[in-house]
Amino acid sequence: MAKSKNHTNHNQSRKAHRNGIKKPKRYRHESTLGMDSKFLRNQRFAKKHNLKPKLQIKKAAERKASRESKK
């Protein structure tokens, strides 16, 4: 008895390219479902303690002023 065919990739590439091989869509906010819970918890605290842009600029100016006064 002849050996049976083990593998072929014939025509698969052509079939795939007929409708074009597309990259997966990149969304603005990637889902956090299934992510590491420890990482997510830390991320939540990091976001919580980030300052808003206006406050950040104000704090930076204060730090710069205090540095200048020490010189």
pLDDT (tens, 9 = 90+) of the chain, 71 residues, equals 788 989 999 999 999 999 999 999 999 999 999 999 999 999 999 999 898 999 999 999 999 999 999 87
Round to whole Å and give the CA distance between 10 and 51. 58
Instruction: Supply the pLDDT for residue 56.
Output: 92
For the CA atoms of 13, 19, 24, 27, the dihedral, rounded to the nearest 10 degrees, stands at 180
> In this structure, which amino acid lies at residue 71?
K
Look at residues 19, 21, 39, 22 and name the one whose alpha carbon lies nearest to residue 30. Answer: 39
> In this structure, which amino acid lies at residue 65?
A
Which residues are CB-contacts of 32 (< 8 A; sequence separation ≥ 6)? Answer: 40
pTM across the whole model: 0.47
